[in-house]
Amino acid sequence: MLRIEYAYWLIAGFLIYAGLCNLRERRGRRAAFWLLLGLLFAGGDYVLAQQAAGNKLPAQLAGVAVLALAVLAPGLRRHAQEEGGGAAQRLQSAIRLGHRLFVPALLIPLVTLLVALFGARLSIAGHAVFAAPQMTLTGMALACVTALLAAAWVAREPLRRGVAEGRRLLDAIGWAILLPLLLAALGEVFTQSGVGAAIAALAGMVLPANSALACLLVFALGMVLFTVIMGNAFAAFPVMMAGIGLPLLVRQYGANPAILGSMGMLCGYCGTLLSPMAANYNLVPAALLGLRSPYGVIRAQLWSAVAIFIATFVMMWLLVFR
């Protein structure tokens, strides 16, 4: 049975590989960062099991490792090590392969969707192929492995070349690759600390009585604002849903929770287009492309974000209370 733990172990192996490569190239700080992160991914299940058994030492050691990552991160300089050829060779390869380059990229959403839709029905000798919890994430991990194999086949390159290119990209992005993970966790921290309840109380005092439109507008704009602040719509969602979505829109005005949640997330993604906190989406590409301004990507996305937000809000208003 394929479980999500296998994906974490695969990520851990790749991170440890990147750390060992940097260690061999005498970049000790970067090597320590990726090795520590790889060990955290590899030992996550063990830490949780020990904590459940009452042994807090592994969790405390994991906390020390996280603090060490925070200390190491500011000193990492962006580094994009060329593996097996320069820009000219890459351009020639891209021209030769043409549209076939899209095959591996398109396989990722396709395989993920197939697993999400039909994974529960797959079984071998009466045993389920995919574990029910987090089946979509397991499918995405399988899709990434499938895409790597497909890329090796399309490019007629050895598999190790793809792994080396992945490591090059990992070094180019650096610590910013952790931002989605950290910011998503921040949303849960905000929820547990009562930020959602505080927002609900504030909204009750400010919003006009019996105005579903005003509540919906505050919810949508709040998703954008919190996403800009925290850099991730997944972090903003539990805060706004606990503060306005569930108590006011769903319970008081009878909003459809599925439509509210899905389209509310899309409003949050508009904030992602505008936030420098979403560094791996907005700042890192600007650096990789050599743009003059680090905010060039955000400026290019501004009006698209505004147009998408307006269209999403109008559709949400028309559909969510039906």
Q: Which two tokens stand for residue 193?
A: 């600390």
**Structure confidence at residue 78 as a pLDDT band (50, 70, 90):** low
86 in a structural domain: no
Domain that holds residue 147: 4-77+91-175
Burial of 116 (0-12, 13-18, 19+ CB in 10 A): middle
Q: Are residues 253 and 272 in the same domain?
A: yes
Q: Are residues 142 and 233 in the same domain?
A: no
Residue ending a domain, among 107, 142, 175, is 175
| pLDDT, mean of residues 229-246 | 83
| pLDDT, mean of residues 166-192 | 78
pLDDT above 80: residue 69: yes
Three-state SS letters, the chain:
CECHHHHHHHHHHHHHHHHHHHHHCCCHHHHHHHHHHHHHHHCHHHHHHHHHCCCCHHHHHHHHHHHHHHHHHHHCCCCCCCCCCCHHHHHHHHHHHHHHHHHHHHHHHHHHHHHHHHHHHCEECCEECECCCCHHHHHHHHHHHHHHHHHHHHHCCCHHHHHHHHHHHHHHHHHHHHHHHHHHHHHHHHHHCCHHHHHHHHHHHHCCCCCHHHHHHHHHHHHHHHHHHHCCHHHHHHHHHHHHHHHHHHCCCCCCHHHHHHHHHHHHHHHHCCCCCCHHHHHHHHHHCCCCCCCHHHHHHHHHHHHHHHHHHHHHHHHCCC
Q: Are residues 148 and 22 in the same domain?
A: yes
Residue ending a domain, among 128, 157, 175, is 175
Report the half-sphere exposure of 252 (CA within 13 A, side-chain side).
Answer: 16
Render pLDDT for 30-57 as a digit per residue (tens, 0 to 9).
Answer: 999 999 999 999 988 888 888 888 888 8
State the pLDDT at residue 89.
72
Render pLDDT for 203-217 as a digit per residue (tens, 0 to 9).
Answer: 767 777 678 898 899
Q: Are residues 166 and 190 in the same domain?
A: no
197 in a structural domain: yes
Render pLDDT for 91-146 as a digit per residue (tens, 0 to 9).
Answer: 777 788 788 888 998 999 999 999 988 888 888 877 788 887 788 888 899 999 99
State the pLDDT at residue 124.
82
Q: Are residues 135 and 42 in the same domain?
A: yes
Q: Are residues 48 and 149 in the same domain?
A: yes
Residue ending a domain, among 175, 199, 220, is 175
84 in a structural domain: no
State the pLDDT at residue 147.
92
Q: Are residues 231 and 313 in the same domain?
A: yes
State the pLDDT at residue 248.
86
Render pLDDT for 270-307 as a digit per residue (tens, 0 to 9).
Answer: 999 998 877 777 877 777 677 788 888 899 999 999 99
245 in a structural domain: yes
Q: Are residues 160 and 286 in the same domain?
A: no
State the pLDDT at residue 130.
83
**Structure confidence at residue 220 as a pLDDT band (50, 70, 90):** very high
